[in-house]
Amino acid sequence: MAIARHHRRGTLALLLAALTAAGATLAGCGTDAQSGTGSGGPVTIQIWDGYQSAEATAFSHLVSEYEAAHPGVKISSLYVNNDDTLQKVLTAVKGGSTPDIAYLYGSWAPQVAEIPQVVNLTQVVKQSSVNWNDFYVGERDVATVNGKVIGIPALVDNLAVVYNKKLFQAAGLPLPGANWTWSDFVADAAKLTDAAKKQYGTAYVTPGTEDTVWHWEALLWEAGGSLLTADNKQAAFDSAAGLESLQTLRTMAVTDKSMYLDPTDETYQNLFNSGKLGMLVTGPWDLSSFPNVDYGVQVMPSYPGSSAGHQTISGPDNWVVFNNGSGQVSAAEQFLTWLTAAPQVKYFSMQTGDLPTRASVASAAGFDSDMDKQLTGVSTFIDNLSNVKQARPQIPQYSQVSTVLGNMIVSVLLGKSTPQAALAAAASQVNSDLAGS
Amino acid sequence: MSATSAPARDELRPAPDDGLPAPRRRLRLPFSPWHLVLIPATVVLLFPFYWLIVTSLETEPDALHFPPILIPHVLRFANYADALASAPFVRFFVNSAIVTATTVLCNLVLCSLAGYAFARFRFLGRGALFAVLMATLMVPFQVTMIPQFIVVKWLGVHLLAGVGIDHLGALILPNAATAFGIFFMRQFFRTLPLEYEESARVDGAGRLTVLVRIVLPLATAPLATLAALTFLDSWNDFLWPLIAITSPDKMTLQLGLATFQGAHATEWSLLMAGNVMSLAPMLVVFFVAQRFFVRSVAATGLSGT
Amino acid sequence: MAVNSMTRPGPGRSRPGRGGLARRALDSEQFNGWAFVTPGVAVILLFGAVPIVWSAVMSFQKSSLGSSTPFVGLVNYRTLVHDPVVSQAIQHTLIYTALFVPGTMVVGLFLAVAMNRKIRFISVYRTAAYATMAISAISEAIVFIWLFDPSYGVVNFFFSKVGLPQQQFLNSPSEALYVIVAMTIWGWTGFAVVVYLAALQGVPRSLLEAAAIDGAGPWRTFRRVTLPLLSPATLFLAVWLTINALQLFDEVYLSTQGGPLNATTVLVYYLYEQAFEQFNFGYASAIAYFLFLIIIVVTALQFWLSRRYTFYRS
């Protein structure tokens, strides 16, 4: 096969054309998105948040309202799933491209406090207009690390019991009362379990992550125990309270088999919505996932003999400000203080069904019933905010402690170890982790 | 004539195009027995798609069911309209299309060139270079993503804005060639017998001409395969766009789909509708490309070795 | 094996305008070799090799979110050696790889042979196989989580019908990894089918017919003729699937999150936890390099073994 030489130029030209086209695409696409003050131009604040559907609509309404009132400010918000935000923020931090404001889980606060670009808001929140003490104590504890305020509360929640009224009635059980105890819960769960119908009394999430841990921590606190010693240097959960709380879970998971174990952390929602679960210990965010169930909400049961009553646990999240220059920082702070002021908090809660972050909003007349019209049962969660008395230890090693505790709980739930053994093993592991760092 | 006795009828039947000689069947089925294997296999393979499509057409309360409802009573086609309306999906689709098409094109060109060189040329450092390229496949992205972010940011500032953070070029350039593609093409090129290339060279053709005029036409199957696989990787990429893109109008389709997945509540039926719409171009590409995956042996003109 | 580089035409052939040092240099293999590889290699080195070197440097630093990242030498590597989770992760990663790679190749080869024929609906069958590659990891995970649910899943339902005991699957530390194996084999079969199907096109019918004429049955022909001719594709798949298996992450992240009780914690999942949940970037980089070492050794072994078993027709 003879190939004429002139063909070569043709193919070479084709190749070059293809590469040039690629190059042109790269060069041609994209204008530079400037975030920051041009000379005399508007200030653009970049926010990374995870708001969807109702929350997204409410948030963008508030953003437009603020922009209308402040013509020199533009707010650009980017959706980032809250679970992914940390990866994106950490990469941005290391790469020097931080946003102005980001929505970050409260459980990350101890590490977030170590990021040098995070702005110290202690002086900002001291301003009387901010009314810092109007935020619930659980939120303030999570926004503060070693006396430094690193965020403004964006969200608050807590754990309570959501139950299926129809299943209770079918089993002939009285609906949970405000003074119920854990023995009531365990007994109810056993009666609501029906192997033939593949129906369970309750469920527990078992991926071994913090979700597994914080559900149990509420029980630990209710039993009168605490996680770590006051100086956060040693484990304190291997106590009678620790034992009692683990026993409660074990009875349901292993002995009564009334507890569905969900390693995926998602299945339980659809199961409850399909009428296969009698009760769930969960938070207000799940309520909108239960359209098919006539549910009721009750505070968590208590342990008689413990003074902690119906104490619950909360998982607040923070708006965090990053330092991209003093102009950006002050614009961001101004926006945040406006966004988290009482009128905006009330608006946001009413539109989304999210709990209000401010006590003044929650206690306003008619608020509870108005919220219930928006989302059934949420008023119990709002009232339950007064049952939040403490927060998880705000130390950087908390994530290590959490891993140890997660394994402890899962091994008890799977019947792989007894509560005593699991507690002892976890305590010694936690002690060495805390000592080692 | 083979020693085993066979009815004359079988020998006259043309050999099936399957790389195996015709089996001597005593039982004559009206269809090929391979259907009995392929149909169950296809059911197993396609079942998740069935679930995906069904969920995308369910009402949200039906979608929030466990075990999943496989035969819904009510179908809601409006989910697709709702999904499209909830975010600027047309924009996301266009962004993904630009990124993916350019990435595929670049890969086909660059990986053919490099793969051919590794397969056919002897040059100093060839072995070491190939080893280094393979090594880049062996470190997980979770570890390299932060340095890659920094490199891309630097390029955007010092070289060309279009390839920096928050530009589509940042999604294209790092994937314009992959060690996978080079390895893949090299393996294929090494299976080709040398005769045609050698005779073309003897006739005076330059290397590039040989590649483009002789070798590539023989390589439609692997090229189509590489194109389809690169398309897939680029279209489905999530983590790098998540990190590299910071404005909503540059988001790709996968980032757009993530807007249905909240940390606590997922809008399942909308998410699945979005997924189906995202899958559709890929399935079309595969359906079209699969014709090229299977080149009829007769067309190659290769005689026995 | 035949020499696979090409020789320049001998001095006997003269062509107008040829000759001269510059011409010969430009035509040389060295120049052409480098010219051809440079564009692709430049991209890969810049975006692949540079980050890899960078993370190597990170592995010698104590992680920190702050701006200071002090060098601590080999501390991270020493911790790695004593970390019990790392040895569990190594075990799980190797078991997973040993099951996943041959499993996918066998299923893929079987289906590719089945699909390498012109029967009715063949386009549908092939598209079905390829389509499994297109489905997102999260959809795959959701379906398998449901199929293997201990109470509500189809697999346990099937078991109860045939008299096998009910299993805990993803809830059981001893079974969870195997569920992930099943899930990923399903997800990768399409890829193996694509590669083998392309390779089967290179098997000349003349050879198969010759074998048939010589009296070889279908299985024998397959083993003696087809398989050896498929060996480059087999090597490619073995290497590529192994490299991916050793870096398993998505399916674990989307289903079991490393549990229950670390039963599905594989190396990349563990390093992700270290980097993005414990914020130990330095330690995570060290784990990545340790994994890198494993992958290099395994891949080199595969290439070395392939010399004996891979047959290139050139």
pLDDT in tens, A127-145: 999 999 999 999 999 999 9
Q: Compare C47 and A53 and report the one with higher pLDDT.
A: C47
User: Binning pLDDT at 50, 70 and 90, where does residue A53 land?
Assistant: confident
- Residue listed under structure tokens 């314009």: B176
Which residues in chain B are closer than 8 Å to A99, comparing Cβ atoms? 246
Chains touching C by CB (3 or more pairs below 8 Å): A, B
Lowest mean pLDDT across A404-408, C62-66, C128-132, C245-249: C62-66
Span A384-409, average pLDDT: 92
Identify the top-confidence range among A150-154, C55-59, C276-280: A150-154
Q: How far is CA B109 from the centre of its chain?
A: 16
C147: nearest CA partner in chain B: B67
Domain B94-246+279-295: give its CATH code.
1.10.3720.10
pLDDT of residue A272: 95
Instruction: Tell me the pLDDT of chain A averaged across its residues.
Output: 89
Q: Where are the domains of chain C?
A: 76-309
Q: What is the mean pLDDT of residues A286-290?
A: 90
Q: What is the mean pLDDT of residues B283-303?
A: 58
Q: Considering the entire predicted model, what is its pTM?
A: 0.85
pLDDT of A376 above 80: yes
Question: What residues of chain A lie within 8 A of the CB of C143, using their CB?
Answer: none
Do A19 and B109 lie within an 8 Å CB cutoff? yes
Q: How many CB pairs under 8 A join B and C?
A: 332
The CATH class that applies to domain C76-309 reads mainly alpha
Chain segment A258-285, per-residue pLDDT in tens? 999 998 888 899 999 999 999 999 999 9
Instruction: Give chains near A: 3+ CB pairs under 8 A.
Output: B, C
**pLDDT number for residue A320:** 97
Q: Which residues of B touch C201 (CB under 8 A)?
A: 221, 293-295, 297
pLDDT of residue B23: 57
Quick one: average pLDDT of C282-295? 92
Mean pLDDT over the full length of chain B: 83
The reported pLDDT for the residue numbered B5 is 41
Centre a 10 Å sphere on the Cβ of residue C25 and count the other Cβ atoms it contains.
Answer: 10
Q: What is the pLDDT of residue A189?
A: 96
A171-193 burial, b if ≥16 CB within 10 A, otherwise e?
A: eebeebeeebbbebbbebbbbbb
In the structure, what pLDDT confidence band is assigned to residue A415 with cuts at 50, 70 and 90? very high
Over range C40-48, report the average pLDDT. Answer: 92
A22 and B262: CB-CB below 8 Å? no
Residues C225 and C204: their CA atoms lie apart, in Å, by: 10
Length of chain A: 437
Nearest CA in chain B to C149: B67
Q: Which of A327, A316, A359, A345 is nearest to A143 (CA)?
A: A316
Confidence class of residue B206 from pLDDT cuts 50, 70 and 90?
confident
Rounded Cα distance, C224 and C219, in Å: 9
**Segment among A178-187, A367-376, C123-132 with least mean pLDDT:** C123-132
Residue A347 confidence (pLDDT):
95
B165 burial via Cβ count (<10 Å: 0-12, 13-18, 19+): buried
Amino acid at A1: M
Q: What pLDDT is stored for residue C23 in this prediction? A: 66
Q: Is B66 on the interface with A (CB under 8 A)?
A: yes
CA of B249, closest CA in chain C: separation in Å?
A: 23
Q: Taking the domains of chain B in order of start, what are their residue ranges? A: 94-246+279-295
C55 closest CB neighbour out of B118, B122, B143: B143
Q: Rounded to an integer, what distance in angstroms lies between the CA atom of residue B267 and that of residue A370? A: 25
Q: Is A92 exposed, middle or buried (0-12, 13-18, 19+ CB in 10 A)?
A: buried
pLDDT for residue A25 is more than 70: no
At A35 the pLDDT is 43
C109 touches chain B (CB under 8 A): no
What pLDDT is stored for residue B304 in this prediction?
Answer: 28
The Cα of B163 is separated from the nearest Cα of chain A by a number of Å equal to 6
Give yes or no for residue A312 having a pLDDT over 90.
yes
By Cβ distance, the residue of A25, A27, A81 closest to B263 is: A81
Instruction: Name the pLDDT band for B295 (thresholds 50, 70, 90).
Output: low
- The residues of chain A that CATH labels 3.40.190.10 are 43-150+317-387, 160-314+393-436
Q: Is B143 in the C-facing interface, judged by CB distances under 8 Å?
A: yes
Q: Average of pLDDT values for C95-109?
A: 96
Chains contacting B (3+ CB pairs below 8 angstroms) = A, C
Q: Tell me what pLDDT residue A94 has.
A: 85
Nearest to C202 among B37, B191, B291 (CB): B191
Structure tokens at A263: 């390693």
Report CB contact under 8 Å: A270, B145. Answer: no
Q: How far is CA A413 from CA A143, A190, C72, in A?
A: 32, 16, 40
Mean pLDDT of A380-400: 91
Residue of A nearest to C261 (CA): A407
Average pLDDT over residues B38-59: 90
Res C9: pLDDT: 38
A321 in helix, strand or coil?
Answer: strand
How confident is the model at residue B96, as a pLDDT?
Answer: 96
Cβ contacts of A2 on chain C, cutoff 8 Å: none
At A33 the three-state DSSP class reads coil
How is residue B155 written in tokens? 């390029």
CB contact under 8 A, C173 and A19: no
pLDDT reading at B271 higher than 50: yes
A198–C276 CB contact, under 8 Å: no
Tokens of C109: 């080869």
**pLDDT at residue B13, as a whole number:** 42
Please indicate whether, in this complex, the C-beta atoms of B290 and C127 are within 8 angstroms of each other: yes
Preceding peptide of C260 cis, ω within 30°: yes
Q: What percent of chain B has pLDDT over 90?
A: 33
Give the confidence band of A240 by pLDDT, cuts at 50, 70, 90.
very high
Of A21, A76, A274, the CB nearest to B247: A76
The Cα of A84 is separated from the nearest Cα of chain C by a number of Å equal to 10
Asked if the model's pLDDT at residue A14 lies above 80, the reply is no
Burial class (CB in 10 A: 0-12, 13-18, 19+), A127: exposed
- Looking at the complex, report in whole angstroms how far the Cα of residue A148 sits from the nearest Cα belonging to chain C: 16
What pLDDT, in 10s, does the model give residues B52-77? 999 999 998 888 888 888 898 899 99
The three-point CA angle A109-A110-A116 to 5° equals 90
- CB pair distance less than 8 Å for C236 and B183: yes
Q: According to CATH, what is the number of the domain A43-150+317-387?
A: 3.40.190.10
Q: How far apart are CA C298 and CA B208, in angstroms?
A: 35
Q: Is C259 on the interface with A (CB under 8 A)?
A: yes
| pLDDT score of C281 more than 50 | yes
All residues of chain A having their beta carbon less than 8 Å from the beta carbon of residue C258 are 207-208
At residue A152, the 3 state secondary structure works out as: strand
The whole-number pLDDT of residue A340 equals 96
Strands A148-149 and A43-49: unpaired
Looking at the predicted structure, is the pLDDT value of residue C4 above 90?
Answer: no
How do the residues of chain C divide into helix, strand and coil, expressed in percent and rounded to 5? 70, 0, 30
In whole angstroms, what is the distance from residue C34 CA to residue C31 CA? 5
Which one of B167, B204, B212 has the shortest CB-CB distance to A5?
A: B204
Nearest chain C Cα distance for residue A112, angstroms: 8
Nearest CA in chain C to A199: C151
Looking at residue B37, what is its pLDDT?
86
* pLDDT score for B293: 65
A chain contacts of residue B203, beta-carbon cutoff 8 Å: 1-3
User: Which CATH homologous superfamily contains domain A160-314+393-436?
Assistant: Periplasmic binding protein-like II (3.40.190.10)
* C151 closest CB neighbour out of A93, A260, A399: A260
Indicate yes or no: CB of B64 within 8 angstroms of CB of A81: no
Mean local confidence (pLDDT), A355-382: 93
Split at pLDDT 50, 70, 90, the class of A413 is very high
Residues in A closer than 8 angstroms to B264, CB to CB, are: 285-286
Tokens representing residue B110 in the block: 């660059």
Q: Residue A253: what pLDDT?
A: 96
Residue C19 main-chain phi, psi, to 5 deg: 90, 175
Q: Tell me what the mean pLDDT of segment C277-296 comes to.
A: 89
Distance CA(A409)–CA(A427), nearest Å, equals 12
Cα nearest neighbour of B289 on chain C: C127
* pLDDT at position A360 over 90: yes
pLDDT digits (tens, 9 = 90+) for A321-345: 999 999 999 999 999 999 999 999 9
Q: For residue B230, what pLDDT is reported? A: 93
Beta strand A317-321 pairing with A152-155: antiparallel
Lowest mean pLDDT among A60-74, B162-176, C209-223: C209-223
- Stronger pLDDT, B8 or B275, i.e. the higher one: B275
Helix, strand, coil % over all residues of chain A, rounded to 5: 50, 15, 35
Give CA torsion, residues B221, B223, B224, B230, to 10 deg: 140
CA atoms of A343 and A134, how far apart (whole Å): 13
Nearest alpha carbon to residue A23 among B236, C23, B105, C168: B105
Cross-strand bridge partners of residue A47? A77, A101
In angstroms, the CA A254 to CA A247 distance is 10
Across the interface, which of A111, A208, A267 has its CB nearest the CB of C279?
A111
Mutate to test the interface with B, among A5, A6, A8 (most CBs of B within 10 A): A8
Centre a 10 Å sphere on the Cβ of residue B39 and count the other Cβ atoms it contains: 12
Share above pLDDT 90 across residues of chain C, in percent, rounded to a whole number: 36
* Mean pLDDT of chain C, nearest integer: 85
Going from the C-alpha of C214 to that of each of A45, C200, C311, the distances in angstroms are 78, 21, 22
Averaged pLDDT, A187-191: 96
Residue B6 pLDDT grade (very low, low, confident, very high; cuts 50, 70, 90): very low
Nearest chain A residue (CA) to B103? A22
Q: Is B258 on the interface with A (CB under 8 A)?
A: yes
End-to-end CA distance of chain C: 7
Predicted local distance difference test score (pLDDT) of residue A40:
54
Output the pLDDT for position B86: 85
The residue with greater pLDDT, B190 or A415, is: A415
